[in-house]
Structure 1
């Protein structure tokens, strides 16, 4: 609700800018033409992930991983890391935060393991692993569109793949050193999750796993995501119509994102680009890229990563600088709770599950991980 209220205020400010002529109508139409495919993808992939979760897909996958680990906590840890990374890379960081978090927590509780280490793995990797593909983060979709040539996953991986690998590795190493030694080396077996409709589970599994490669073959991401959403909605309308509802659509996020695009467009018309250019500097040398990544991370932790990216995008005039900005606004916002929407959603899910998390612990971990990623993750951009 808070997100929708903020978005509503931004819409009002943007409309005022339009009516007063501060923000020209043709510029507003250009913004709309740029963002509608991105927002459509967000809606479609959210529906796919929500319905797959309702079908029990994530519960079954987590239970299979626990069985595959054969009671060895270290192996289960590695498998959860892999699951969080893949979920983030293909289905976006919000999916990992919202849908994977309760699944991983319940899996740990059922096996008498402390759920907090696994919860921290999901939220940190939801942010830091969101550098992998264009579909991993809304900022990536904006950046890949700005790079030209469509949302090409190969070009994106070529540019940011090494940095993404560093971000994931740093996150996993720090989290492993902090948490794994506190967990028992083994855990007992637990009952398999109950599935009410196995046919629906199979349909959800086929659709979801078919969607993953389609998101990286060069199609506009909204196309396969929308097709997958339509198939799953049809399957649920047939088998479990009560699971369908207007709440499947992430309205708060849409209102917030739409208002934000409009407000930032108005600010750019007022000349905010001149201010961000001074803060972000220029040049593709290592120090300049560190500066841009650092400013992006500071702005993201100060306000939020999406407005931070939008405000600084015009200051990133080359592929290397755009990549440095993404490192800052994707992997950097893990210090303050509000820096990433995924972090706030993650906390809401933990509260709903009855898990208490001290924000001080989150801040301390982020204050260690984020600077390391910023320092090391920018290095491949100049190699």
Structure 2
């Protein structure tokens, strides 16, 4: 609810800018044409993820993986890592934060091992693992639209930094929690889906959606079709699940407010000062400078407005990917660095898992520079 209120305040600020002429109507219309399809995708994929979770898809998958781990926490953690990467890449970082977090915490609780390494893996991978595809992060969708890139062309640019970010993140989690990850546990019996029909409809829908998201079709179209299929299935088999809360209205209001307010700042030339700190050029150090500015900005004000503010100063595709590295993989220090982190913490507290923010931020201060540096140099290497 607080996110929705912030979004409404930002929309009011943007409306005042439009009424007073600070934000011209033509620029506002151009902004709407750019972001409405993106927000439509966010709504649709959130509905898909929520209904797939209601059908038991993620829970059953997690329990199957726990059974395959055969009592070894390290194997279970590797499975969680793979699941977090796949969820983030194909269904977005917010989906991972919202839906995977309670699953991995429940798995850890049933196995009687610490949930902290699994929870930390989930939130870090949700951010650092969100570089590969446009659908992985809202910032990526904006960048892909800005560059007019097919998803596979986008992935070709981001593959090396995405791999580097994931590997470094995983290494840091393991090296900071080796005793907990090398423990043993007693596997619990795998759960069966409550409604096999809904389970298989959800499974088929998600499996079909994944290739559609990289087909080159505007992503809001297959996501909307998938959402419609699941809405019909639940309307027939479990209508009580269908509620207004399935629509992520607070997130839409928050994102819309950020879009409009940052566009107003651009129109007023307030963000021009960032050109000095962002620098120019595409040498490894130039890219690292831009990524570092992006990471610092994301942790200061949130990754979405940080990207929007710095986008005009990332003039070519390689610099734009460097900016994404900073605002995506670097946004793991402050709780407000990304919306995914706030959603993750909300799920943890609802399950009784306490996280020390000072300790979280100290770990982030270790992980963010290492991850951003590794990903940026991987980008520079792949671009040569």
TM over 0.5: yes
Deviation of 1:194 (Å): 5.2
2:18 paired with 1:18: yes
Quote the Cα distance in structure 1 between the aligned partners of 2:8 and 2:319. Answer: 32
Match in the other structure for 1:122: 122
Quote the Cα distance in structure 1 between the aligned partners of 2:376 and 2:186. Answer: 42
Helix, strand or coil: the match of 1:378? helix
Match in the other structure for 1:97: 97
Match in the other structure for 1:191: 189
Conserved in 2, the CA contact under 8 Å of 1:113 and 1:184? no
- Among 332, 335, 338, the alignment partner of 2:336 is 338
Deviation of 1:91 (Å): 0.3
Match in the other structure for 1:67: 67
Helix, strand or coil: the match of 2:43? helix
Match in the other structure for 1:299: 297
Quote the Cα distance in structure 2 between the aligned partners of 1:217 and 1:183. Answer: 38
Deviation of 1:335 (Å): 0.5
Conserved in 2, the CA contact under 8 Å of 1:336 and 1:363? yes
Quote the Cα distance in structure 2 between the aligned partners of 1:20 and 1:279. Answer: 30
Alignment of 1:308-323 (within 5 A): 308-323=306-321
Match in the other structure for 2:146: 146
Quote the Cα distance in structure 1 between the aligned partners of 2:305 and 2:153. Answer: 25
Quote the Cα distance in structure 2 between the aligned partners of 1:36 and 1:290. Answer: 32
Quote the Cα distance in structure 1 between the aligned partners of 2:257 and 2:183. Answer: 49
- Among 224, 231, 234, the alignment partner of 1:233 is 231
Quote the Cα distance in structure 1 between the aligned partners of 2:66 and 2:336. Answer: 32
Match in the other structure for 1:361: 359
Quote the Cα distance in structure 2 between the aligned partners of 1:196 and 1:287. Answer: 54
Helix, strand or coil: the match of 2:336? helix
Helix, strand or coil: the match of 1:339? coil
Match in the other structure for 1:2: 2
Quote the Cα distance in structure 1 between the aligned partners of 2:254 and 2:99. Answer: 21
Alignment of 1:131-170 (within 5 A): 131-149=131-149, 152-170=150-168
Conserved in 2, the CA contact under 8 Å of 1:102 and 1:353? yes
Deviation of 1:184 (Å): 5.1
Quote the Cα distance in structure 2 between the aligned partners of 1:260 and 1:157. Answer: 26
Quote the Cα distance in structure 1 between the aligned partners of 2:161 and 2:181. Answer: 30
Deviation of 1:193 (Å): 2.7
2:59 paired with 1:49: no
Match in the other structure for 1:256: 254
Quote the Cα distance in structure 1 between the aligned partners of 2:288 and 2:187. Answer: 47
Quote the Cα distance in structure 1 between the aligned partners of 2:266 and 2:30. Answer: 13
Quote the Cα distance in structure 2 between the aligned partners of 1:247 and 1:135. Answer: 22
Deviation of 1:381 (Å): 2.9
* 43-52 vs 351-360, greater mean Cα deviation: 351-360
1:189-247: CA deviation from partner (whole Å, max 9, x where unpaired):
21323532111111111111111111112111111110000000000000000000110
Helix, strand or coil: the match of 1:22? coil
Task: List structure 1 segments (4+ residues) > 4 angstroms apart after TM superposition.
Answer: none
1:98-147: CA deviation from partner (whole Å, max 9, x where unpaired):
00000111011111111111111100000000011110000000001111
Conserved in 2, the CA contact under 8 Å of 1:117 and 1:180? no
2:8 paired with 1:29: no
Conserved in 2, the CA contact under 8 Å of 1:130 and 1:331? yes
How many correspondences in the alignment?
381
Quote the Cα distance in structure 2 between the aligned partners of 1:111 and 1:3. Answer: 34
Structure 1: where are the runs of 5+ without partners?
A: none
